[in-house]
Amino acid sequence: MATLTIRNVSPRVVTRLKKQARENRRSMEAEVREILEQQLIDHLAAVDQIEQMWEDQARPTTAEEVGSWLREGRR
């Protein structure tokens, strides 16, 4: 597995991350992995859904529509 180093994380973010990790009974490192994995899964699911919508539409989707969907968190 690869190693990832993140520098210059604000103390506020570190404090919140530690709190969240404690609440989830994980190490801070495990919490960061979970957050990254979940964000990637959510993003890929949104992309898949948008691609399916494009295929189902009679007309092409505009860039403005896609931007609006992403801002709304629509899936």
pLDDT in tens, 7-61: 999 999 999 999 999 999 999 999 999 998 888 888 888 888 888 887 887 777 7
Within-domain flag for 44: yes
How many domains does the chain fold into? 1
Tell which residue, 21, 38, 39, has the closest CA to residue 30.
Answer: 21
Q: What's the pLDDT at 74? A: 63
Q: What's the pLDDT at 75? A: 54
Q: What's the pLDDT at 52? A: 83
Within-domain flag for 1: no
d(CA 46, CA 69) in angstroms, rounded, equals: 9
Side chain identity, residue 61:
T
Within-domain flag for 21: yes
Q: What pTM does this model have?
A: 0.58
Question: Which pair of structure tokens corresponds to residue 21?
Answer: 């990790």
Within-domain flag for 50: yes
